[in-house]
Every structure is written in C-alpha cells, then in structure tokens.
Amino acid sequence: MLGAPHIVRPAARDAAAALRAAVAQARAVLLTGPIAPDGDSIGACLALAAGLRALGPARIDVAGSVSYRYAWMPGAQGMLPDDQIAADYDLVVVLDGDARRLEPPIAAAFQAAPKRAIVDHHRSTQVQGYDIALVDASASSTCDLVYELLLAWGHPLDRATAQLIYAGIVFDTGGFRHSNTTPQTHLLAARLVAQGIDHAAISTRILFDRSQAGVRLLAAVLAGAEYRVDGRLAIGQASFELGSSLGAGPGDIEGIVDHLVYTSGVELACLLIEQQPGSVKLSLRSRSVVDVAALARSLSPGGGGHARAAGATIEGTVPQVLAQVLPALELAVR
Ligand SMILES: [Mn+2]
C-alpha cells in the first residue's frame, strides 16, 4: 500500500495552481500561523515556506516566534518576530487558524495585501475575505494539506520537509491517539518515517519535552485541580503571579490541559491561565461528547478550534473569567 502514490485532493490541486500563480507575481510573501503557534502551525508554515521558495524569486517570510519546544525545527531560527513585520506583502498566507489575521501587526499586513490565502483544517475557519482557500476539516493537520501542495508542485520530500510535516501530524493527533487519526494519517506518517527521520526524538520533543519551570507549573495546576458535576468536569487554573514566580513561559502551558481531561470519569476539562495580567487563556478538551469548538465560540467571539480541542482568550482575572464561563461548562456535561 505504501508503494501506491499519495492521492492529492482536488481542492489541494486547485490551491497549488492558484498559489503558484500568485507567488510568480509576488515580490514578497508572508506566512503566518496562529497567535500561539504549535507544532502543526510551525511545521506547516516552515514546510510551505520551503516549497514556495523553490517556486520562484519572491521573498518568503514566516512571522512569529517559537518556544524552546520548537526551536529545533528546520527553518525556525529564520522566523521573523511580529515587531519586524511591515505591511508591504503582495500575498499573505494564513495557516492553521484564521484568528491571527485580526492581531496587530499581522492585521495591517493582511489588510494591505492585494492577495490573501488560507490553508487550514479547522471547522470554525471562515473562508470569506480570502482569494485562495484550502480548508478541509477532514485533514488530521494543516501539515497534511501542505504535504499535498508540495506534492502538486513536485517539491522533493527531503529530510527537513519530512521532519516538519511529521512534527505537525504528531502534534495534532497527540501521537496518533486522537479521533482525527485515520488510515491516511498513518500512511502519510509511514512515508515520512521512510525518509529516515528520527521519529522517536520528534515525538518526544513535540509532545513531552517540558522545561523545569514548566514541570513546576504543571505540578501546581494539578495540585489545585477541581472536579465538578460528579467528576465529569475538571478545572485547572494558574494566575499570572504563579506563572511568573515559577519563571514559566508560553511553551510551558501546552499539554497541561490533557492531564486534566485524562482524569478517570472526566468528559470536559478547562484550563485557565492568566498569560498577561488581566488576560486569561482558556484551553478546553473533551473526551468523546462535548463539542469544545462550539463551546469556545460561545464563550468568546475569537474562540474556536476542533471538536475535542479548542481555546479562547477572555479579558479578566482567573476568578472573574471562571465565574463567567462556569455555568456554560457545567451545562455542557449535565
Ligand atoms: Mn492544526
């Protein structure tokens, strides 16, 4: 089966042709993932950037900065921090979530760009406002879609590309455990592993690597976990003071909410972390029933994600935001 060629979906073929034409006309192209980039969005941005660079002379920039967990990814060191992003791109490509097109200074670059594209697998993503859209919620990761764009362009599947795509798939499937994992996911992963990548090292770095400050933050959140509605709802929280006293950074939050949702009997987990004073990042996970993407959207206009993993950012302190969202959380598991 591995010998059979990977089938590129028609939408990816169309998007590949449209992107190729747009890049041929462009002087400079900006790629951006979500506000807090993860393994899938970084892998997708960096792999697509390599593919676009091979198409022609346009300058290809990738916006954002990565935490220690992703610093090893090929090309990550060349990413541009947001404060270096000007509003002078001919094409802006948004990957793995569209909320960031609303965030300054990306919003200015997005508004000023004569052409806009999106490559994404979130059900909540709106394609209005984009000239080129490859959005397919059946894809396990945005990296799956980027792989098909690269195939359509005849881009060689080198080791660096295989590492990036594999990292995205491993992140978004939780190491092939989540319900978005399909036979196609495993077939694609097999092709990538066949390139000789160190898949064990990638999985460990992407899913489990945690700084010492991050381990202490995890311990503090778990020690303070609360269970409600007969143990079906788990709530974890951390104030800005707690995070900063431990020296925890943005990369240290990832994965904590999973420990809550895997408590026996829990269907829905909510982690509230005050990332900036007065601004709380809400992470939601469900095991099998609750659609947390819809729940996140109902809690905040910028909220969204996938059916089993979603998030939102809400202004306020942790106690204020918890009081605001708790009735909806409890109702979801009653
Ligand atoms: Mn993704």
Tens of pLDDT, residues 118-127: 999 998 888 9
DSSP E strand boundaries for 193-307: 226-228, 233-238, 268-276, 279-286, 304-305
Query: How many CB atoms within 10 Å of residue 54?
Result: 13
Which two three-digit tokens encode residue 281? Answer: 């990042």
d(C-alpha 55, C-alpha 68), whole Å: 30
- pLDDT score for 1: 47
Please state, in angstroms and as integers, the Cα–Cα distance from residue 97 to each residue in 12, 142, 216, 284, 314, following that order. 17, 9, 30, 16, 18
Fold of 212-332: Diaminopimelate Epimerase; Chain A, domain 1 (3.10.310)
d(C-alpha 278, C-alpha 286), whole Å: 26
Percent of the chain's residues with pLDDT above 90: 90
* 103 has pLDDT over 90: no
CA of 100 to the centre of ligand 1 (A): 14
CA of 185 to the centre of ligand 1 (A): 13
CATH for 10-206, options being 3.90.1640.10, 3.40.50.1970, 3.40.50.920, 3.40.50.1820: 3.90.1640.10
Strand ranges across the sheet with 279-286: 226-228, 233-238, 268-276, 279-286, 309-315, 304-305
Whole-model pTM over 0.85:
yes
CA of 142 to the centre of ligand 1 (A): 5
Category of 278 on φ-ψ map: left (φ > 0), alpha (ψ -120 to 50) or beta: left
d(C-alpha 97, C-alpha 313), whole Å: 14
CA of 250 to the centre of ligand 1 (A): 18
CA of 172 to the centre of ligand 1 (A): 6
State pLDDT tens for residues 55-67.
Answer: 999 999 999 999 9
CATH 3.90.1640.10 boundaries in the chain: 10-206
State pLDDT tens for residues 281-295.
Answer: 999 999 999 999 999
- pLDDT score for 3: 65
CA of 283 to the centre of ligand 1 (A): 15
CA of 97 to the centre of ligand 1 (A): 8
**What is the residue-averaged pLDDT of the chain?**
95
CA of 302 to the centre of ligand 1 (A): 16
CATH 3.10.310.30 boundaries in the chain: 212-332
CA of 303 to the centre of ligand 1 (A): 15
CA of 116 to the centre of ligand 1 (A): 19
CA of 34 to the centre of ligand 1 (A): 9
